[in-house]
């Protein structure tokens, strides 16, 4: 990270611009790292009992990688409404 600005200046600019977080709510200062958001989405689906044994089935894993974030968003919206 110390040499990032000289070795990869375009990536350093993105980091400095704050492009390493996701804003899941409209509240200020509530951004979280992208990997943490991904883990939260995984936990939401696994908690719902839908993501068991994905690594055993390549087709199911690809489907999860494509649709998982949207499913997690829908579950989150549903939980807010109830």
Average pLDDT value over all residues in the chain: 79
pLDDT of residue 13: 92
pLDDT of residue 6: 94
Mean pLDDT for the stretch of residues 23-37: 81
Mean pLDDT for the stretch of residues 30-51: 73
Is residue 48 scored above 70 in pLDDT?
Answer: no
Mean pLDDT for the stretch of residues 42-59: 68
**Other C-beta atoms lying within 10 Å of the C-beta of residue 66:** 9
């Amino acid at each position: 990270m110390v040499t990032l600005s000289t070795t990869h200046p375009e990536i350093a600019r993105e980091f400095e611009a704050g492009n390493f977080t996701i804003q899941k709510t409209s509240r200020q200062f509530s951004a979280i790292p992208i990997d943490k958001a991904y883990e939260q989405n995984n936990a939401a689906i696994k908690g719902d009992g839908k993501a068991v044994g994905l690594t055993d089935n390549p087709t199911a894993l690809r489907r999860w990688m494509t649709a998982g974030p949207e499913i997690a968003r829908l579950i989150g919206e549903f939980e807010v409404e109830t």
